[in-house]
Chains A and B, each alone.
Chain A
């Protein structure tokens, strides 16, 4: 069964460093998302992406964040200058038309 693949599974970074989280969505899906989950808290929406552009973003998704689909298969989330409060699980999801979203296993980001 196809699945959403995320790499790395765990990333440790110094505060102020840039990180790129990578995702390979399920092929033929059209909508792509990033969500995050701070330990012990709810899953929060960051951004959705459709037709090679951002279709919706939350207040969390400020100028420090960017997304890209560089080669038609990968979908990346970049955090330019990480802060301690960016430590969380980051989930990528993809969705076909008129169906539910499928989530990846997540990348645990630890900012030290």
Chain B
């Protein structure tokens, strides 16, 4: 069964304290791995897509990396506005429009 596990469940950081979030996955043939940000009571907001091991993508203070078994979301010098739940999702092979399988997310709190 395809699965996505995220750790830690919750992370508290001081402003400027860099860290990483982990997403481990088991899927028979990865079509894509996605990172989304979700604010309380809101829908997921797209951050990155990674397709193959070794790929990296960056956006402001965030950098996502991918290996054959896991992905990391590195947060460099976070600010309070980075506080949110970060969701990892995988898409199994198949026709376009295949469902995303989500992890439970990591809730990040950044204090000033």
Contacts and interface: CB of A to CB of B under 8 A. Distances in A.
Bound pair (A, B): yes
Contacts of B43: 4, 91, 103-106
Contact of B95 (A4, A43, A55): A55
A80 B63 CA distance: 44
Interface in A4-35: 4, 30-31, 33, 35
A48 interface: yes
Interface stretch (B14-22, B65-73, B97-105): B97-105
Interface residues of A, number: 28
Contacts of A108: 41
Contacts of A41: 104
A58 B97 CA distance: 13
B30 to A, nearest CB: 15
B75 to A, nearest CB: 20
A100 B46 contact: yes
Contact of B97 (A31, A42, A104): A31
Interface in A76-106: 89, 91, 95, 97-98, 100-106
A95 B46 CA distance: 12
Given A42-B104, A42-B105, A100-B34, A56 B99 contact: yes
Contacts of A105: 42-43
Interface of A: 4, 30-31, 33, 35, 41-45, 48, 50, 55-56, 58, 89, 91, 95, 97-98, 100-106, 108
